[in-house]
């Protein structure tokens, strides 16, 4: 008891040994906690992904007749040959990520999950989709193949002429 | 004859081995019966005394106990299913089909796991409705209600993560839709989506993450919270019993007596 009294600081601003070690301990514990959180976040975020390349070679322009819409199920894109030229749309619904389908008899793109409908240019006709289907960067490479970059969206109505 | 069987059990309880396992001693006094509950590692979570009325079907409809029963079925069948299931893209779907058509009793175990999972979700909701409409969530049991809500969320996450494991079209698109719902969370949504799937697509990483969540992290968390949930029943004054009911009956009897006079 007398020891504790002696350990009490004379001035309220002065810090005694016990308070110093308590603060030091709490401080190191919070640093360790923050470090663990950062470590856990880093560990859970993969640095290398074995996912398919965003750039897809869709083939020769001649294989897409004019006024046709072709869905590539594996890459989730539409290659459309309109009168103005070629363009490609993402086939992944902007609502919750389902794969949409082209309905040739109605001339629309429809999502099987929650009923969103889009026209051939990707604009929404009806349904819960919050955004139109994005246009994807499309070009012709040196071999004359049509290429699509799924990771780059462009402004609509930019056609590729071959 | 019944007496002879009783004395046989008494002899068993007096053996040195039995008494080394159960320290509460023999005898059927109230103290001994209380000690038998209190000194057992599994039973000590529960109250040593329960109103006889609370053990009847009408008091709780056994909904909490039945929920725990389905959980035990799910753990035991789930461990067995793990012996034939590989959480990898080339094998997951084939293993699920093998469990149905090749493995002896695999179809029974898989269906039991599936039906128990559906039953557990139903029973959790039924249990919560019963607790809610009885008013059993009120003070001093409000914190146990909060633990119950956490257990509801764990149950739903267990259902959701288990849904991906058969790796069929239904599973794939359900998890695609579900994980895109997570990315609708403001600010952190896309990060949550990325961490949950371990990538941008429902792929090998997502299957493995969901498997680990489904078979390790979520069941262990569930067991922890179930233990606290059971222990809190005792700490909050035992199973809730509807105080207003006997009083209403008493008032009715008194009124009836007055009318008779």
B205 and A46 in contact by Cβ < 8 A? yes
A46 and B199 in contact by Cβ < 8 A? yes
What pLDDT score was predicted for residue B217?
98
A66 plus A130 within the same structural domain: yes
Q: Could you report the per-residue pLDDT of A107-128, keeping only the tens digit for each?
A: 999 999 999 999 999 999 999 9
Which residues of chain B have a CB within 8 Å of the CB of A113? 173, 177
Task: Specify if A160 maps to a domain.
Answer: no
Give A135's strand partners.
A89, A154
Task: Specify if A139 maps to a domain.
Answer: yes
A59 plus A36 within the same structural domain: no
Q: Does A44 touch chain B (CB under 8 A)?
A: yes
CA distance B212 to A131: 35
B177 and A98 in contact by Cβ < 8 A? yes
A37 plus A89 within the same structural domain: no
Task: Specify if A50 maps to a domain.
Answer: no
A70 plus A29 within the same structural domain: no
Domain span at A15: 2-44
Q: Could you report the per-residue pLDDT of A6-16, keeping only the tens digit for each?
A: 555 556 677 89
ipTM score of the complex? Answer: 0.82
Count of CA atoms in the C-beta half-sphere (13 A) of B193: 21
The pTM (predicted TM-score) of the whole model is: 0.86
Nearest Cα to B218, choosing from B142, B143, B165? B165
Q: Look at residue A1 and tell me whether its pLDDT is greater than 50.
A: no
Task: Specify if A11 maps to a domain.
Answer: yes
Nearest Cα to A58, choosing from A43, A80, A36, A41? A80
Give the pLDDT mean for A152-162: 93
A136 plus A85 within the same structural domain: yes
Q: Could you report the per-residue pLDDT of A92-112, keeping only the tens digit for each?
A: 999 999 999 999 999 999 999
What pLDDT score was predicted for residue B127?
97
pLDDT band at A5, cuts 50/70/90? low
A19 plus A62 within the same structural domain: no
Nearest Cα to B36, choosing from B53, B60, B52, B18? B18
A94 plus A37 within the same structural domain: no
Counting as low any pLDDT under 50, the low residues of chain B are 244-246, 261
CA distance B155 to B124: 8
């Amino acid at each position: 008891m007398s020891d504790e009294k002696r350990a009490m600081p004379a001035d309220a601003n002065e810090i005694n040994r016990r308070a110093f070690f308590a603060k030091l301990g709490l401080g190191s514990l919070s640093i360790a906690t923050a470090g663990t959180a950062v470590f856990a976040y880093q560990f859970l975020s993969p640095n290398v992904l074995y996912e398919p390349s965003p750039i897809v070679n869709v083939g020769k322009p001649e294989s897409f007749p004019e006024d046709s819409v072709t869905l590539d199920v594996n890459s989730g894109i539409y290659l459309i040959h309109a009168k103005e030229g070629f363009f490609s749309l993402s086939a992944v619904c902007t609502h919750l990520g389902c794969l949409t389908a082209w309905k040739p008899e109605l001339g629309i793109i429809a999502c099987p999950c929650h009923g969103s409908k889009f026209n051939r240019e990707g604009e929404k006709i009806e349904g819960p989709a919050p955004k139109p289907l994005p246009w994807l960067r499309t070009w012709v490479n040196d071999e004359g193949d049509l290429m699509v970059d799924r990771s780059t969206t462009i402004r609509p109505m930019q056609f590729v002429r071959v | 004859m019944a007496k002879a069987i009783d004395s046989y059990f008494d002899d068993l309880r007096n053996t040195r081995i039995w008494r080394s396992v159960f320290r509460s001693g023999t005898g059927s006094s109230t103290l001994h019966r209380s000690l038998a509950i209190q000194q057992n590692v599994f039973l000590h979570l529960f109250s040593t005394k329960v109103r006889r009325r609370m053990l009847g079907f009408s008091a709780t409809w056994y909904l909490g106990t039945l929920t725990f029963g389905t959980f035990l079925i799910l753990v035991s069948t789930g461990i067995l299913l793990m012996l034939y299931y590989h959480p990898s893209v080339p094998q997951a779907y084939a293993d699920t089909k093998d469990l149905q058509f090749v493995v002896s009793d695999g179809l029974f175990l898989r269906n039991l796991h599936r039906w128990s999972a559906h039953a557990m979700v139903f029973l959790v909701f039924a249990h919560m409705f019963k607790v809610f409409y009885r008013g059993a969530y009120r003070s001093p049991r409000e914190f146990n209600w909060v633990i119950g809500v956490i257990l509801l969320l764990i149950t739903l996450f267990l259902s959701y993560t288990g849904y991906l494991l058969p790796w069929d079209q239904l599973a794939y698109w359900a998890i695609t839709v579900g994980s895109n719902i997570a990315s609708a969370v403001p600010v952190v949504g896309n990060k949550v989506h990325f961490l949950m799937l371990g990538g941008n697509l429902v792929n090998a990483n997502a299957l493995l993450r969901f498997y680990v969540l489904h078979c390790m992290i979520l069941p262990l968390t569930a067991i922890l919270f179930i233990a606290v949930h059971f222990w809190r029943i005792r700490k909050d004054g035992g199973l809730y019993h509807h105080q207003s009911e006997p009083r209403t009956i008493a008032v009715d009897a008194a009124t009836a007596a007055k009318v008779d006079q």
